[in-house]
Structure 1
Amino acid sequence: MIYIKNSQEIDYMREAGRIVGETLLMLKDIIKPGITTAEIDKIAEEFITKQGAKPSFKGYGGFPATLCISINDQVVHGIPGKTVLKDGDIVTLDCGALINGFHGDAARTYAVGNISDEAAKLIKVTEESFFKGIEKAVIGNRLTDISHEIQEYVEANGFSVVRDFVGHGIGKSLHEDPEVPNFGRPGRGPKLVEGLVLAIEPMVNIGGFHVRTKQDGWTVVTADGSLSAQYENTVVITPDGPEILTLVK
């Protein structure tokens, strides 16, 4: 079932979104060679809890950490630990926060030190594909109008879109209906209406779109070992167009 949010609920989600956005912006400044993923996770958890919120991911389905931290060929759901970031890595931080009974969810891929031109292009195209997609996030369009725009932009730039993992509705639950693919034909799925809140999250690979899950049961990597990037925001459909709840500058 798709849950449409009223104005009060959207205000709660703005607060959750602000906390997520501020967390990711703060973390951008500490992403440097030599830091461990566990250290990043600890800083994020302390920041979120000081805001009066709870990390959405910690304990979700048994996930052990505040952030999903995925490095290089890791697509999603990387578990923070003793891994030390190195110059030339790219790292995706996926963050959620719960406050007033509502969640916010967003992800960014950051450069660690000096990265290759190809890796920089991957990060840029992934972010741009999100903004191309939400150009279609207007009342009266169909859900897959967003999906199609993302896929078209990614593939026009020579990359591929992950098929096995998709975006989602969000609200009182971290994952709600509808699923939001980053690929597919336009004009399908539910109509976009005022108060619909979606976590839109292109996951883009330099190589093929196939992925596999590692033995830890969480970490998803590209099947061919190529680099992967992600860019996600929580977005509400309004009469004035899409409002991004997790984008803080």
Structure 2
Amino acid sequence: MIVSSEDDLNGLKEIGRICGNAVKIMGAALEPGITTRELDVIGRKVLEDAGAQSAPEFCYEFPGATCISVNEEVAHGIPGDRKIQAGDLVNIDVSGVKNGLFGDTGSSFIVPPVKPKIEKLCRDGKRAMWVGLGQVRTGHPMAAIGNAIGTFARKNRYTLIQNLASHGIGHSLHEEPKELSTWPDPDETRIMEEGLVFTIEPFLSLGGLWAEDGDDPWTLYSEPKAPTVQFEHTIVVTKNGPIILTLVD
């Protein structure tokens, strides 16, 4: 999507804020004993109270309002009876739609007690996302995003999941530019246009390189198996840098 009006931008900001609030509220509710289904109910209520719908349900009939991935799960975890345990690493990914416009955001959380290396992974996962965001501006190569994140990961001795990419968003959940790499990709030759809307969502890992299918049609696991975090924002490209649509206080 290319933002072409103030109404477009305001609508994207609205759904972005709703999705960001859902992640924030769900993260605050994390505690030992809560099930991922109970957590999902909280996220659904935030969306619906704001007049939005779950995007994965709306687009793909996903069996939940939000994606909640725990420990060995990297992405697209299905909410269910799994109880959160002390020390768990939990990724919450919320995408929503309102008035025909979509937003998408996610964060990884640790339930105390926190292992130092996992705490550092979470901290650096967020830093990796911001490194990518720092490359966003009109006329800049899209490859700069993955190159910068790749340099950060290599310098800090992390790996990146290399088959879970960022994506265009706006009038649909996944649209052009599709498969926007958040790792160094020599085949990426596209240029960022003014008003272009897409996500930036690196998956930073302590050894994982790929996301592989599990026993259900949705949940993905790292290969090799390793703790992995994801942080994601939806942005609009401008000549002065990104407008971050899903950032909340």
Q: TM-score of the superposition, structure 2-length normalised?
A: 0.95
CA distance in 1, matches of 2:189, 2:113: 41
CA distance in 1, matches of 2:58, 2:21: 22
Partner of 2:93: 94
CA-to-aligned-CA distance 1:148-195 (integer Å, 9 cap, x gap): 111111221111111111010001100011121111247943211211
Partner of 1:196: 196
2:241 is equivalent to residue 241 of structure 1: yes
Partner of 1:228: 228
Q: Secondary structure at the match of 2:84?
A: coil
Partner of 2:3: 5
2:205 is equivalent to residue 205 of structure 1: yes
CA distance in 1, matches of 2:221, 2:231: 16
Q: Secondary structure at the match of 1:57?
A: helix
Preserved contact between residue 143 and residue 185 of structure 2 (Cα < 8 Å): yes
Name the Cα RMSD after superposition.
1.4
The gaps in structure 2 that reach 5 residues or longer are: none
2:55 is equivalent to residue 56 of structure 1: yes
- Equivalent residue letter for 2:2: I
CA distance in 2, matches of 1:241, 1:208: 31
Partner of 1:153: 152
Preserved contact between residue 59 and residue 65 of structure 1 (Cα < 8 Å): no
Q: Secondary structure at the match of 1:58?
A: helix
Bigger mean CA offset, 215-224 vs 159-168: 215-224
Preserved contact between residue 145 and residue 187 of structure 1 (Cα < 8 Å): no
Preserved contact between residue 142 and residue 186 of structure 1 (Cα < 8 Å): no
Partner of 2:64: 65
Partner of 1:214: 214
> How far is 1:59 from its partner?
4.5
Preserved contact between residue 145 and residue 186 of structure 1 (Cα < 8 Å): no
CA-to-aligned-CA distance 1:18-61 (integer Å, 9 cap, x gap): 10111111112111111100000011101110101111112532
CA distance in 2, matches of 1:175, 1:191: 18
- Equivalent residue letter for 1:149: A
- Equivalent residue letter for 2:102: H
The gaps in structure 1 that reach 5 residues or longer are: none
Preserved contact between residue 133 and residue 149 of structure 1 (Cα < 8 Å): yes
2:71 is equivalent to residue 80 of structure 1: no
After TM superposition, the structure 1 = structure 2 runs for residues 22-33 of structure 1, keeping only pairs within 5 Å, are: 22-33=21-32
Q: TM-score of the superposition, structure 1-length normalised?
A: 0.95
Percent of counterpart pairs with the same letter?
32
CA distance in 1, matches of 2:184, 2:118: 25
- Equivalent residue letter for 1:247: L
After TM superposition, the structure 1 = structure 2 runs for residues 101-180 of structure 1, keeping only pairs within 5 Å, are: 101-178=100-177, 179-180=179-180
